[in-house]
Homo-oligomer: A and B are copies of this chain.
């Protein structure tokens, strides 16, 4: 019974992680379509967008072979996302609002999982905060670099800031009440809240000039 309860958040996080991966892969496909890539190029961009951030984190902290190599679910899921985008492209384009929601859930979950994994390697909370954010946003950075664009989040974005804020909320709530599930909930809701508010109220960071 107890084990059932303690296992639950892990399963929820795993499912949300897969959801985020799937949605990130679709967003990669949409970028590739705008660049008129062929099927191979588009699939590479789908992969890079979906697992690039976590891969960079794993390489930096020394968790190798990198995470997705030990669970083929991620690879099959990305290939499914590629196929589904090709088959139902016009339908998926109309789902942009839903995709935005899942994308936001995705970065929230990627942040928390990246942060937890880094802490699990005995690294400092400051490093964990950075690695959580890198897990969430560097897939997009690598995608933009490979498609010869300046990464979008370097110019107008509260995206990464939401991850940093949510990660900080996780660490702080962990210090106050040492309950895994509650901290995760607070962090995920913080990230989703900041992200949605940022889009709704056109929040942006000051430009450097």
Contacts and interface: CB of A to CB of B under 8 A. Distances in A.
B44 A154 contact: yes
B149 A148 contact: yes
A204 B207 CA distance: 36
A114 to B, nearest CB: 13
A157 B37 CA distance: 10
Interface of A: 29, 32-33, 35-42, 44-45, 55, 59-62, 64-66, 69, 72, 75, 86, 121, 123-124, 126-127, 130, 141, 145-151, 153-157, 160-161, 204-209
B150 A148 contact: yes
A198 B65 CA distance: 34
A161 B38 CA distance: 11
Nearest to A64: B62
B61 A69 contact: yes
